[in-house]
Amino acid sequence: MSDGPGIDARKVLDSADFRRLVTRRWTISLLLTAALFLAYYGFILLVALDKELLARKIGAVTTLGIPLAVAVIVVAWALTAIYVAWANRGYDRAVDRLKRELGS
C-alpha cells in the first residue's frame, strides 16, 4: 500500500491532464450539488416562509404546491442524469487515456 507510485504513476499524477480531470470532476459535482440544494432547500424554505404561495390554486382545487413537490423530485433525478451523462463521456474517456499512459 505504501510502496509509493512508480515513475509512470508520478508522471500521470503530475500531468496537467490528470489535474484538470480532478478539478473538472469536483467543479461539476459541486455545481450540481449547489443546484440540488437550491431546488430542495428553496422548496422547504418556501413551505416554511410563504405558505400562501404554495396554497395558490392553479386549477379547480389543485394547488401550486403539488406540481412543485413533484418538480423537486424530477429535478433531483435530472441532475443525477446530467452527472451520469457527463461522466459516461468526458470523465471515462479521460480516465481511459490516462490509464493507457500508465500502461495498465
Kindly identify the residues of this chain, within the stretch 57-76, that bind another protein according to CB under 8 A.
Answer: 59-63, 65-66, 69-70, 72-74, 76
Could you give the angle at the alpha carbon of 37 between the alpha carbons of 36 and 43, nearest 5°? 100
One residue of 11, 15, 17, 81 binding another protein per CB under 8 A: 81
Name the nearest CA neighbour of 70 among 85, 84, 58: 58
With CB under 8 A, what is the number of residues at the site for another protein?
A: 56
Residue nearer to another protein on the CB measure, 7 or 48: 48
By CB under 8 A, tell whether 90 contacts another protein: no
Q: Match 432547500 to its residue by C-alpha cell.
A: 41
Q: Grid coordinates in use for 48? A: 416554511
By CB under 8 A, tell whether 48 contacts another protein: yes
